[in-house]
Amino acid sequence: MCRRPACPTKSDNVSGDSTEVYIQIVTSGGRRIPVHANILASASPVFEGLIYRPRKHRSSEKTIPIAGVPCDAVVAFVGFIYSGKCSEEDMEKYGMHLLALSHVYMVPKLKSRCAKALIERLTIENVVDVLQLARLCDAPDLYLKCMKLVSNKFKSVEETEGWKFLQTNDLFFELEILQFIDETESRKKMSRRHRREQRLYFELGEAMDCLEHICTEGCISVGPYDMEPRKNKAPCNKFSTCQGLQLSIQHFANCKKRVNQGCVRCKRMWQLFKLHASICELPDSACKVPLCRRFKMRGGEELKNKKGEERWELLVKKVVVARATSSLLMPKRKRVEEEPVPASCEEANDNHNYVITNLVC
């Protein structure tokens, strides 16, 4: 059922310029919509071809049939060709038909307007239908949005009529969608893994900063052998990492099992000392970090195979980069002397277990 007059009206026909050529669009409901040939032709190369191609090939002199879409969708389509506008109501009702028409008759402005409108109106229920249309009409933005929605809400989409229909009618498209979901999942996994790795490199970079700070300036409970522990010292600005590291150094200094007898905590501390030696650029006599000289002398001999050596070198590189990046992002290490000393630090200052870092292993 057609509900409204098309554009132009019959009166346009008689009152207009006598040189203008009118043709009629015939809808599937049998409605005839009179239109200016030149306006139709200038809006769409497809209409242009239909209107101006040699007469012997023309199917009908004065009519162009547009079938397969509701009559009012064709009216809205012609309205857009004349005004460059389309009401929200028409978009709501005929957005999918208008997308198909804009694709078939090559009206790019309407096509992008429809794609945007359909993206705004995507739901679990309609996404499979819209996706199929986006694929047919070569609308990449709409296609991608639909794929993402299907991928993110697949459990619900699977229950829709649209999906069930697709499963029975288009096996290849179903495979295409499942493959997209798979790839999205593995991309997500990879980026989660990448973030985890980056966090680890930053943590190691911070541990390296703290290790140097502990061994040169001294912190609450561990400091260099040539420096007296200072009373009422305030925590440094990376104290959460620094404190853990100091506890590990204290443990390393006192542990009976050490690395050789399989103490995991000592092994980790040993690796941190070794990592320091791998990135330390100070001459041996100037570096106060324990074991630095020893590791530098032994080089990579501890790494049993080439693969292990390569992995270690990669780790060292990543930590160096993470450290450089964080030093650009963060202000320089500052002691907060004026701040009140937290109770836990006062306790640590009174702690008689203050460890000096001239460890011999």
Which residues contribute to the site for Zn ion (CB under 5 A)?
Answer: 219, 236, 242, 255, 263, 265-266, 280, 287, 289, 292
Structure letter (DSSP) for residue 60: -
Q: Which is nearer to Zn ion, 260 or 305 (CB)?
A: 260
Tokens of 85: 């506008």
Q: How far is the CB of 198 from Zn ion (least distance, A)?
A: 23
Residue in the block written with tokens 């011999």: 360
Q: How far is the CB of 265 from Zn ion (least distance, A)?
A: 5
Q: How far is the CB of 210 from Zn ion (least distance, A)?
A: 6
Q: Which is nearer to Zn ion, 18 or 260 (CB)?
A: 260
Q: How far is the CB of 279 from Zn ion (least distance, A)?
A: 8
Residue ranges of E strands in the chain? 22-27, 32-36, 63-66, 222-223, 355-356
Q: How far is the CB of 188 from Zn ion (least distance, A)?
A: 37
Q: Which is nearer to Zn ion, 37 or 242 (CB)?
A: 242
Q: Which is nearer to Zn ion, 101 or 287 (CB)?
A: 287
Beta carbons within 10 angstroms of residue 343's beta carbon = 8
Q: Which is nearer to Zn ion, 28 or 351 (CB)?
A: 351
